[in-house]
Amino acid sequence: MGSDFVAEVAARSALVLGVDPRPRLHPGREPLVHLERYALDLMEALGPRLAAVKFQYAFFEALGLDGIALLDHLIAAARVLGLPVIHDAKRGDIGTTAAAYARATLERWPGSALTVNPYLGEDALEPFFRSAERTGGSVFVLVKTSNPGSADFQDLEVDARPLYAHVAGRVAGWAAKYPARGWSRVGAVVGGTHPDALRALREVMPESLFLVPGLGVQGASPQPGKGLLWSASRSIFYPDGKPDLPAALSRAESYLRALAG
């Protein structure tokens, strides 16, 4: 089976590098070649200082077959560098389709993690949980996301509690069924732009690793905490809106200092 995602990230830092490629920002006739080289250089330079690398699938899929090939190359390179991988694809569909999504990500890349959407309920998530258990992977369930519009549905009151609190309660139940190395294979996505919710949800889901987006451009402030994996994408990958390796390393270093307390 190879590596185990939970064991690997639990032994590393709290910073996740998000890769959201934008070819228009890369110079020359072959922007994807430059983009790939830049991503490889950044992953290699940060190396063991990262908890994981998170690949946002939409940006690769938007580039067609060339983008899918680039995604495969970068995931393979991350694994060669010993970096845990998070597939940020937010999958969620009926059971048979969910099983196919799981084969395409968790089973194709053993020891990796995948973000999933809980809107279709438990039967649509079970294929992901079972694949994670078989392959040494992990699943991050969307609970309270970092975008402002998350309040439209996630904050709706149901029995005097916000809907996201009910989702968190279910995640805690699923997490208890899939223990892994002192944590669980079932984690949660909780936006760092909601610090009060972040603290409250840790009490509800004590066994789950949290993937915490929003660091950087969205304005979240890094806070140390057990089991928190803080994700920064544009603010590291494209500091000041462009590819700049020294500036990217400097930005990552500043986040690492803050997360170390």
Which residues does the annotation mark as catalytic?
90
C-beta separation of 230 from 222 below 8 A: yes
Helix (H) or strand (E) holding 52: strand 52-56
Task: Give whole-number Cα distances, 118 to 182, 242, 252, in Å.
Answer: 24, 34, 31
**What token pair was written down for 136?**
């040494």
How far apart CA 125 and CA 102 sit, in angstroms, is: 10
Phi, psi of 140 (to 5 degrees): -110, 115
Give burial (CB, 10 Å; 0-12/13-18/19+) of 121. exposed
